[in-house]
C-alpha cells in the first residue's frame, strides 16, 4: 500500500530519550479550592505512567491541564519541548502532539466513525480527504472496528465507541496519549477489549499517561505508578514497588480499599 | 507496525430480525375503537357529541366553500347567492392579489423571478440533489442581486424600471419572507454564538441587542425602520422604502432566532467541545462542523416556528404602507363593482387558505428533516 509510508511510526527514534511531558510546580485553584498543589512530574518518551488515587484527588484535572482543557494558574507544563502558555499557537501544537481519550468517549454523534477519525486530520492538519480516510481505516483496522467505519457512534457498543475514540486520537499521530479514566463508563464485559487495545498501544512504544482504576492494567503495563491524593503526588514508584510495598499511609489505605 | 491489535471479541453484535406479534394480540379496528372511543359511558357521550360537532362544522364549511359556491359568473351571480363563496371574485382579482399594481406587461418578470427562486429553493431543500453547494451559492449570492435587478428593472439592458411603490400582493409577501428567513437565521446564529462567547464586550453587545429588540413590539421596529433610518443615514444612501421594512423584519426575527439557537447550543454536552479541542480543532471549525450541526438539529422545531411566525408577521408591513398580500385582499374586497354578501368572507377564506398552505408546507418539510436527521445517530 502506497500510503504506508505516510503512517509515521508511533514513536520516532530521535526523540526516544526526550522528555515527553514535564510538569513543574503545577498549581490550580477552583475558586478558593486548591485542586492541584505543586505537582511535578516528568514522563519520558516511550514511558507508560499510570495515575491512580481516590476520587476527587485531582488526577483528571492534572491530565486535563496538559492539553489545556483546564487552565492552570501557576507552574510550567512542557509537552514535547513546547511550553503551554497563553499563546494559542503553542496550545494548538500541544493539542496536536497529545491525543486524549475520555471517560465518555466524546465521539461526535452526527458523524460516522470514519468521519470522526478524519475530521481533525482534514481540518487541522490540512490532509487530503482520501489520504485521511486511508490513514483512518488503517487505525480502525488496528483497533479492530474497520467494519464499523460507516456506522454512527450511537450504533456501536461502549467498548467499540471507546476503541473508535482511541483510533480518532491516533489519527492525529500524537507523540503522547492521555487517557482520562477510559474504562470507567464501560460495562464490565467491555473493559477488557479497551484495555487490550491500550496494551497493544503500549507494546508498540507509545508514550502513555493514563488515569485509571484498573490496577491489573497498571501492574501489567505501567513503568511507573503515580499515586495522588488531595491534589498532591504522594508517591511515584514502579508497579512492583507500589503494589507490594507502598510507602505512604494514604497509599496503603487506598490499596486496601480497592484491592479488597 | 501494521499488526492488528488483539481485542477480546467475545461477543458478536448481530441483529436479530424482528418478528411480528401473533395475530390475536394485534389490535383490530373494533378493539381499538372500544378502547379509545367507547371505554366508559362518559367517553361514549363525548365521542358522540364531538363527532356530531365535527360533522356539522365540516358540512357547513363544505357547503359554503364548495357545494353552494359560485365558481363562474360575474358579481350579479354572486350577489344573488348569499350561501356560498364567490370564487369567481378571486379569479377576477387573482392577478391583482399576486402582483399588486405591477404593470401587466411586465409581470412575466415577477413570474420568472419566482420560478427561479422556487427552483433554487427546491434544489437546496431536496436532500439528495447533486451539487447543493452550487445551489447555495446561486441562491445566497447571485439570486438576491439578479432577482432584484429583474424585478426593479435596469434601463441599460432594456428592462424598464418599475418603482417599488407599484409592487404588491403575494410577490411582496414572498419577498419579505424569503429575505427575512434567509438573513435572520445566520444573523441569529452569530448573535447566539456572541451571547455565549467568552469575550465580554462581544457578549455584552449581543445581549443588549437581543434584549432590546425582543423588548420592543414588531410594529415599533417597523416604524423605526421606516421613519428613523432615513434620519440616521445620508439621503443618498437611504434604503428603498421596500428595503427598510425588510431590514426591520430580518433584524427583529434574528433576535428571536438567536435565543432559539442558544437553547440548542446549551443542549450540547461539554464533552463535544472538549473532544474537538483535544484534537486541536479551532473555534470556527468546531462550531461549523461539530457544535452547530447538532445544536441546530435540536432546535429545528423552534426555528421553523419562527419562520412561520415571520411569514405571517409580514402582514404587518401594511402599516408602513406596503401593499402585501393581505392588504391586496383587503383592497380587492372593498371594490364596489364586486360588492356582495359573501365577498369579504371569500377574500379572507382565500387568504387563510394561502397562508395555511405555505405554513403547513414549512412545517411538514421540517418534520421530514427531523426524521431524516434522527435516523443516523439514535443511541
Let me know: does B49 contact A184? Beta carbons within 8 Å: no
pLDDT of B223 above 50: yes
How far does the CA of residue A245 sit from the closest CA of chain B (Å)?
32
Let me know: does A50 contact A217? Beta carbons within 8 Å: yes
The Cα A139–Cα A253 span in angstroms is: 40
The Cα B195–Cα B199 span in angstroms is: 9
Q: Which three cell numbers stand for residue B158?
A: 432594456
pLDDT of A6 above 60: no
The Cα B176–Cα B252 span in angstroms is: 13
Partners of A23 in the beta sheet?
A41, A77
Closest CA to B270 of A152, A164, A103: A103
Q: State the CB neighbour count (10 A cutoff) for residue B142.
A: 12
The length of chain B is 379
Mutation for B interface: A91, A109, A154, A186, most B CBs within 10 A: A109
Q: Do B281 and A119 touch (CB under 8 A)?
A: yes
Q: Do A172 and B280 touch (CB under 8 A)?
A: yes
Q: Of A67, A104, A204, which has the smallest distance from its Cβ to B278's Cβ?
A: A67
| Residue B8: per-residue pLDDT | 46
The Cα A230–Cα B23 span in angstroms is: 63
Q: CB contact, 8 Å: B300 with chain A?
A: no
pLDDT of A14 above 70: no
**Domains of chain A, each with CATH number or no CATH:** 19-106+176-259 (3.40.50.300)
Q: What angle do CA B78, B81, B82 make, to 5 degrees?
A: 110
pLDDT of B306 above 80: yes
Q: CB contact, 8 Å: B362 with chain A?
A: no
The verdict on domain B176-321+340-373 having CATH code 3.40.50.12240 is no
How far does the CA of residue B22 sit from the closest CA of chain A (Å)?
29
Over the range B294-326, which residues count as b (16 or more CB within 10 Å of their CB) and which as e? bbbbbbbebbbbbbbebbebbbbbbebebbbbb
Q: Where are the alpha helices (DSSP H) in chain A?
A: 59-66, 88-97, 113-123, 129-142, 158-170, 188-203, 215-221, 239-244, 249-259
Q: Could you write out the DSSP letters of every residue in B123-187?
A: HHH-TT-S-HHHHHHIIIIIHHHHHHHHHH--GGGT-----GGGB-BHHHHHHHHHHHHHHHHHH
The C-alpha cell 379569479 sits at B91
Q: Do B11 and A196 touch (CB under 8 A)?
A: no
Q: Which tens digit of pLDDT belongs to each residue from B193-204?
A: 999 998 999 999
Closest Cα in chain B to A10: B1
Residue A163 exposure: Cα atoms within 13 Å on the Cβ side: 33
Q: How far is CA B184 from CA B177, B196, B363, in A?
A: 10, 18, 18
| Residue B244: per-residue pLDDT | 87
Q: Of A106, A143, A204, which has the smallest distance from its Cβ to B272's Cβ?
A: A106
pLDDT of B4 above 60: no
Let me know: does A225 contact A52? Beta carbons within 8 Å: yes
| Residue A145: per-residue pLDDT | 93
Chain B residues with CB-CB distance to A127 below 8 A: none
Judged by DSSP in three states, A104 sits in: coil
Of the listed ranges A100-104, A158-162, A187-191, the least confidently predicted one is A187-191
Close Cβ partners of A83 (under 8 Å, ≥ 6 residues apart) = A76, A77, A90
Give CA A151 to chain center in angstroms: 24
| Residue B1: per-residue pLDDT | 43
Chain A residues with CB-CB distance to B14 below 8 A: none
| Residue A15: per-residue pLDDT | 45
| Residue B137: per-residue pLDDT | 86
As a whole number, the mean pLDDT across chain A is 89
Q: What angle do CA A4, A9, A14 make, to 5 degrees?
A: 135
Q: Which tens digit of pLDDT belongs to each residue from A192-240?
A: 999 999 999 999 999 999 999 999 999 999 999 999 999 999 999 999 9
Q: Could you write out the DSSP letters of every residue in B320-362?
A: GT--BHHHHHHHHHT-GGG--TTHHHHHHHHHHHHHHHHHHHH
The C-alpha cell 364531538 sits at B50
Cβ neighbourhood burial of B284 (10 Å; 0-12, 13-18, 19+): exposed
pLDDT of B355 above 60: yes
Q: Of B11, B276, B278, which has the smallest distance from its Cβ to A189's Cβ?
A: B11
Q: Do B2 and A67 touch (CB under 8 A)?
A: no
Closest CA to A144 of B120, B57, B9, B55: B9
The Cα A206–Cα A101 span in angstroms is: 14
The Cα B123–Cα B129 span in angstroms is: 6
Quote the ipTM score: 0.89
Mutation for B interface: A10, A110, A166, A204, most B CBs within 10 A: A110
Q: Do A124 and B378 touch (CB under 8 A)?
A: no
Q: Which three cell numbers stand for residue B205?
A: 453587545
Q: Where are the alpha helices (DSSP H) in A21-112?
A: 59-66, 88-97
Mutation for A interface: B9, B11, B14, B275, most A CBs within 10 A: B275
The length of chain A is 260
Domains of chain B, by residue range, sit at 176-321+340-373
| Residue B378: per-residue pLDDT | 47
Amino acid at each position: 500500500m502506497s500510503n504506508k509510508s505516510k503512517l509515521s511510526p508511533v514513536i520516532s527514534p530521535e526523540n526516544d530519550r526526550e522528555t515527553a511531558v514535564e510538569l513543574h510546580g503545577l498549581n490550580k485553584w477552583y475558586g478558593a479550592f486548591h485542586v492541584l498543589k505543586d505537582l511535578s512530574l516528568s514522563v519520558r518518551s516511550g514511558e507508560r505512567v499510570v495515575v491512580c488515587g481516590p476520587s476527587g484527588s485531582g488526577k483528571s484535572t492534572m491530565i486535563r491541564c496538559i492539553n489545556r482543557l483546564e487552565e492552570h494558574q501557576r507552574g510550567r507544563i512542557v509537552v514535547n519541548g513546547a511550553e503551554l502558555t497563553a499563546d494559542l499557537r503553542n496550545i494548538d501544537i500541544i493539542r496536536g502532539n497529545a491525543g486524549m481519550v475520555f471517560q465518555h468517549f466524546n465521539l461526535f454523534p452526527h458523524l460516522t466513525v470514519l468521519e470522526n477519525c478524519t475530521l481533525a486530520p482534514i481540518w487541522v492538519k490540512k490532509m487530503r480527504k482520501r489520504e485521511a480516510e486511508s490513514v483512518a481505516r488503517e487505525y480502525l483496522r488496528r483497533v479492530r472496528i474497520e467494519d464499523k467505519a460507516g456506522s454512527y457512534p450511537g450504533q456501536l457498543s461502549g467498548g467499540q465507541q471507546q476503541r473508535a475514540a482511541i483510533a480518532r486520537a491516533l489519527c492525529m499521530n500524537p507523540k503522547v496519549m492521555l487517557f482520562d479514566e477510559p474504562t470507567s463508563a464501560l460495562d464490565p464485559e467491555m473493559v477488557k477489549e479497551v484495555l487490550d487495545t491500550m496494551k497493544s498501544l503500549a507494546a508498540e512504544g507509545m508514550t502513555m499517561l493514563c488515569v485509571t482504576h484498573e490496577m491489573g492494567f497498571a501492574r501489567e503495563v505501567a513503568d511507573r505508578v503515580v499515586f495522588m491524593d488531595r491534589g498532591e503526588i504522594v508517591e511515584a514508584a514502579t508497579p512492583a514497588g507500589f503494589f507490594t510495598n507502598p510507602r505512604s499511609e494514604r497509599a496503603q489505605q487506598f490499596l486496601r480499599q480497592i484491592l479488597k | 507496525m501494521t499488526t492488528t491489535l488483539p481485542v477480546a471479541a467475545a461477543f458478536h453484535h448481530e441483529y436479530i430480525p424482528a418478528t411480528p406479534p401473533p395475530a390475536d394480540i394485534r389490535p383490530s379496528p373494533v378493539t381499538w375503537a372500544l378502547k379509545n372511543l367507547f371505554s366508559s359511558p362518559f367517553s361514549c357521550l363525548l365521542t358522540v357529541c364531538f363527532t356530531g360537532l365535527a360533522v356539522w362544522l365540516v358540512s357547513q364549511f363544505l357547503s359554503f366553500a364548495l357545494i353552494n359556491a359560485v365558481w363562474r359568473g360575474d358579481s350579479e351571480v354572486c350577489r344573488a347567492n348569499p350561501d356560498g363563496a364567490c370564487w369567481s371574485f378571486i379569479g377576477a382579482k387573482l392577478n391583482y392579489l399576486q402582483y399588486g399594481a405591477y404593470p401587466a406587461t411586465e409581470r412575466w418578470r415577477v413570474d420568472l423571478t419566482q420560478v427561479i427562486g422556487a427552483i433554487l429553493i427546491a434544489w437546496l431543500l431536496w436532500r439528495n440533489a447533486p451539487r447543493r453547494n452550487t445551489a447555495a451559492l446561486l441562491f445566497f449570492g447571485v439570486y438576491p442581486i439578479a432577482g432584484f435587478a429583474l424585478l426593479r428593472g435596469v434601463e441599460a439592458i432594456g428592462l424598464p424600471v418599475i418603482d417599488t411603490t407599484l409592487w404588491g400582493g403575494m410577490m411582496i409577501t414572498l419577498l419579505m419572507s424569503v429575505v427575512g428567513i434567509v438573513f435572520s437565521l445566520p444573523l441569529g446564529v452569530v448573535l447566539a454564538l456572541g451571547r455565549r462567547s467568552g469575550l465580554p464586550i462581544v457578549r455584552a453587545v449581543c445581549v443588549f441587542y437581543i434584549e432590546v429588540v425582543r423588548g420592543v413590539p414588531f410594529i415599533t421596529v417597523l416604524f423605526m425602520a421606516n421613519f428613523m433610518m432615513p434620519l440616521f443615514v445620508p439621503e443618498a444612501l437611504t434604503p428603498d422604502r421596500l428595503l427598510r421594512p425588510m431590514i426591520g423584519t430580518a433584524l427583529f426575527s434574528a433576535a428571536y432566532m438567536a435565543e432559539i439557537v442558544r437553547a440548542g447550543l446549551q443542549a450540547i454536552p461539554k464533552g463535544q467541545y472538549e473532544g474537538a479541542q483535544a484534537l486541536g480543532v479551532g473555534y470556527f471549525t468546531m462550531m461549523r462542523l461539530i457544535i452547530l450541526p447538532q445544536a441546530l438539529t435540536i432546535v429545528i422545531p423552534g426555528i421553523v416556528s419562527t419562520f412561520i411566525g415571520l411569514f405571517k408577521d409580514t402582514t404587518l408591513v401594511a402599516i408602513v404602507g406596503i401593499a402585501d398580500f393581505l392588504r391586496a385582499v383587503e383592497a380587492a374586497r372593498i371594490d364596489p363593482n364586486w360588492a356582495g354578501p359573501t365577498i369579504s368572507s371569500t377574500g379572507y377564506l382565500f387568504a387563510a387558505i394561502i397562508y395555511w398552505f405555505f405554513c403547513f408546507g414549512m412545517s411538514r418539510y421540517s418534520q421530514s428533516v427531523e426524521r431524516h436527521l434522527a435516523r443516523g445517530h439514535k443511541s
